[in-house]
Amino acid sequence: MRGLLIIAASIVTSTTLGVSARHGAAAQAARETKPLVALDNPRVRVYRTTAAGPLTGVEHGPGVVVSIEDSSGVAKAGSAVWVEDAAALSGTSRGSGAIVIVQPRRQGPAAASPADGSKPGDAPFTGMSFKPIFENDRVSVIRARMEVGAREGFHTHGSDTIVVHLSGGEIEDTADGKTVVNRWKRGDVEFEGLGTSHSARNVGGAVDVVLVALKRQ
């Protein structure tokens, strides 16, 4: 009997240690998860992450934090805030939902003058809406929506603009005489450069995005 009790105790201890080890390894992996660099060029660096632990691999400096999904009461999907140091964000301040971090860079020559382009929402459009979220000396942030069949007329961008997709969808894009259909997923990021021109049409379901327009420095 004593021998059986010893064997049983050993099995329980071994199982407990195994579970603890697995939980420990999972927690360590969560702590060490590095955000994905979704976009990196001379004007901006963009990260995508769902990790709730401390951020690693994010540059120190200001940026826009866009919530892609509801986050444990911390933020709602589609909200955006300015932070002075994106690398210092804690799991508590970010919650557990997916986010995109947009960090403007001061370097990078301007490709066009303000007279050469329009701001988001200035081009002729049908079936679209634009709602400002906030603006400062570095960025202008807008929530935008394209309803089914919405169209945006041919226009030239007056700023480098980062498009953060909240819903995903299918958008027909015409530029340089070529038309393509881009299929986006929630959390995808695209860069529309200063001085670039195109027109767009929604050929799928309603599309929700956050637009981060970079100001010249």
pLDDT in tens, 118-168: 778 777 889 999 999 999 999 999 999 999 999 999 999 999 999 999 999
- For residue 140, CA distances in Å to 48, 128, 205 come to 20, 18, 26
**DSSP 3-state assignment of 116?**
helix
Phi/psi at 115 (5° precision): -70, -15
Q: Which of 30, 183, 55 minimizes the C-alpha distance to 65?
A: 55
Q: Are 163 and 120 in contact (CB under 8 A)?
A: no
HEC sequence for 168-206? CEEEEEEECCEEEEEEECCCCEEEECCCCEEEEEECCCC
The residues spanned by each domain of the chain are 34-104, 114-214
Ranges 10-14, 108-112, 146-150, most confident = 146-150
Three-class DSSP category at 155: strand
Beta bridge mates, 64: 82, 102
DSSP 43: T
The tens digit of pLDDT for each residue in 28-68 reads 444 445 789 999 999 999 999 875 666 788 899 999 999 99
Q: Percent of the chain scored above 90 by pLDDT?
A: 59
**Class of the CATH domain delimited by 114-214:** mainly beta
Contact 190, 184 (CB under 8 A): yes
Cα 131 vs. chain centroid, distance in angstroms?
A: 18
Lowest mean pLDDT among 10-19, 30-39, 60-69, 83-92: 10-19
Q: Where are the alpha helices (DSSP H) in the chain?
A: 2-32, 91-94
| Terminal-to-terminal C-alpha distance of the chain | 80
pLDDT at 25: 43
For tokens 């603006």, the residue is 135
Q: Which residues contact 132 (CB under 8 A, 6 or more apart)?
A: 140, 141, 142, 143
